[in-house]
Amino acid sequence: MSQSLNRILLAEDDADMRRFLTRALKNAGYDVVAFDNGKSAYERLREEPFTLLLSDIVMPEMDGIELARRATELDPDLKVMFITGFAAVALNPDSEAPKGASVLSKPFHLRELVGEVERLLAA
50 assigned to some structural domain: yes
Q: Per-residue DSSP letters for 72-116?
A: HHH-TT-EEEEEES-HHHHT-TTS-PPTT-EEEESS--HHHHHHH
Q: Which residues form the domain of 94?
A: 7-122
Q: At 65, which CATH number?
A: 3.40.50.2300
How confident is residue 1, by pLDDT bands cut at 50, 70 and 90?
very low
Q: Is residue 2 part of a domain?
A: no
pTM over 0.85: yes
Residues 6+ apart with CB under 8 A from 36: 11, 12, 13, 15, 18, 59
Residue 1 lies in a domain: no
**How many structural domains comprise the chain?**
1
How do residues 53-102 score in pLDDT, each as one tens digit?
999 988 888 999 999 999 999 999 999 999 887 655 555 666 677 878 88
pLDDT tens digits along 18-41: 999 999 999 999 999 999 999 999
Do the domain assignments include residue 81? Answer: yes
